[in-house]
Amino acid sequence: MDPMSLRHAVLGLLAVEPATGYDLAQRFTKSISNAWHAGHSQIYPELARLQAAGMVEVVGEGARRSRTFAITDGGHEELRRWMTETEASRTQRSETGVRWFLLAVLDPEDRRIALDQEIAFMTSEAQRLQAIADAIDETPDPHPFRATVDLGLRVNAVMTDWLREQRAATEPDRPR
């Protein structure tokens, strides 16, 4: 049972900084959402399993019966092992990808409508990523995930260019 990226995503987020289950749910949507997502109903049970496996531990209990978890040495070792010794199974699932694939089977009119939607979506994504980048840049010391945000922006740019090309090729009257 080597796949299971959720486990490693959680460990990785905790490796940066200890957090509560609630924090983790937020970080999934705010930082790693381009790669993986998990809601709290998945996170709490996973934290319990990781704790049972000695990979995370409770390092503090706060208000509202909150528990802050931190990664242990065992957890770090598991991360290291997974990253350097396992051959990735490479689960790949992107609804956006499916939609872009399907553009080809629409007639020109519908394709234009869909392309406009996709361009708008990518623009909002770029803004979301840029906001994250800006927030990171305001912090004093270099943030570990800054580089992947940059990658996201680059990929977004290439994809948006592609969408615009497709859009231009579908222009009705003046195909230029």
Q: How many residues of this chain interact with DNA, rule: CB under 7 A?
A: 29
Cα–Cα dist 56/73, whole Å: 9
Cα–Cα dist 55/66, whole Å: 19
CB of 43 to DNA, least distance (A): 8
Q: What is the maximal distance between C-alpha atoms in the chain?
A: 65
CB of 37 to DNA, least distance (A): 5
**Residues 90, 93, 174, 176: which binds DNA (CB under 7 A)?**
93
φ/ψ of residue 144, rounded to 5: -55, -35
Cα–Cα dist 35/43, whole Å: 16
Q: Is 50 in the site for a copy of itself (CB under 8 A)?
A: no
List of residues contacting a copy of itself (CB under 8 A): 3, 5, 8-9, 12, 15-16, 32-37, 79-80, 83-84, 88-106, 110, 113-114, 117, 121, 144-145, 147-148, 150-151, 154-155, 158-159, 162, 166
